[in-house]
Amino acid sequence: MLQTSTISDVRTRITAIRPAGADVSILSMPCPEIAAAARPGNFVNIKVSAGDQPLLRRPFCIHNVQGDTIDVMVKNVGRGTSLLCEASCGESLLVLGPLGNSFGTGTGEFDTALCVSGGIGTAPMLFLEKTLASEGIPFHHLAGGRSKSDLLTTGLSNVSTSTDDGSEGFHGNVVQLLEKHLAERTNAGRVKVFACGPNPMLKALARFCKDRAIGCELSLESVMGCGVGICYGCMVELSNADGEKESILLCREGPVIDGERFTA
């Protein structure tokens, strides 16, 4: 995991909004300073309306960086996300970022990256996979969802899918798909898993990887306020190297964590 260096608060406008799936939209916003400093896994904290409400910003992974522009992929789950998903091009937003740490890609510790996502957990994967490609690291993406309509694979390459109900791809969960993938690809060399998704999926994945001594980085979610370590709203409990419980601020020490810390 790598720490972020420069953080900017950028007043910008939405330049494009496109649907990406059921209740999911991708928003593009020119943010030159953030785009220049961003690494895959970083997030931004967005003031979603010009008015007082909602008061707190909302956190979103950086989905893509193209020149000076960043994209975020937003699932409509409540007040703030519905304002973003129903916004129009030209609307003004305040965007703070890049925040948090990032996935550790260029470490030379693995030969193949396996990117594993569940539902909206696909959000950070396009930027991650573009970075892996630019570093010459082979990758495969395993995307899971409850049903076909939950799969978000637009723009991704080398993708295999799983659905809990069997409506598309492998019939089962994405950890079972990973098990099948590993059994079939015995020539991948040293693999490392990079994952984002719902906590129960990440927990099962972390245990799966630990049992097989596979390196694993997870991008976690929690309710979050300031995004910069002041409000203490995003405290999560993990294990430390001695197996003891330890609380961290996800906005500063995350959102990417070593999977070993999420197995207890």
Which parts of this chain interact with ligand FAD (CB under 6 A)?
Answer: 43, 54, 58-61, 72-75, 77-81, 120, 123, 221-224, 255
Residue 92 region, left (φ>0) first, then alpha (ψ -120 to 50), else beta? beta
Least distance (Å) from ligand FAD to the CB of residue 158?
A: 21
| Spatial distance between the Cα atoms of 103 and 115, rounded to a whole number of angstroms | 11
Least distance (Å) from ligand FAD to the CB of residue 122?
A: 9
| Spatial distance between the Cα atoms of 228 and 224, rounded to a whole number of angstroms | 10
Nearer to ligand FAD, 89 or 223 (CB): 223
Least distance (Å) from ligand FAD to the CB of residue 117?
A: 11
| Spatial distance between the Cα atoms of 57 and 79, rounded to a whole number of angstroms | 11
Least distance (Å) from ligand FAD to the CB of residue 9?
A: 17
Omega before 19 within 30 of 0, i.e. cis: no
- The answer on whether 80 is annotated among ligand-binding residues is yes
Which residues, listed in sequence order, are joined to residue 141 by a DSSP beta bridge?
115, 159
Nearer to ligand FAD, 80 or 104 (CB): 80
Least distance (Å) from ligand FAD to the CB of residue 151?
A: 15
- The answer on whether 81 is annotated among ligand-binding residues is yes
Which residues, listed in sequence order, are joined to residue 21 by a DSSP beta bridge?
24
Q: Which are the contacts of 31, defined by CB distance < 8 A and separation ≥ 6?
A: 8, 10, 12, 44, 68, 69, 70, 95, 97
- The answer on whether 231 is annotated among ligand-binding residues is yes
C-beta nearest to ligand FAD: residue:
78
Nearer to ligand FAD, 76 or 112 (CB): 76
Which positions make up the binding site for FAD? Answer: 80-81
Which positions make up the binding site for [2Fe-2S] cluster? Answer: 226, 231, 234, 251
Which positions make up the binding site? Answer: 80-81, 226, 231, 234, 251
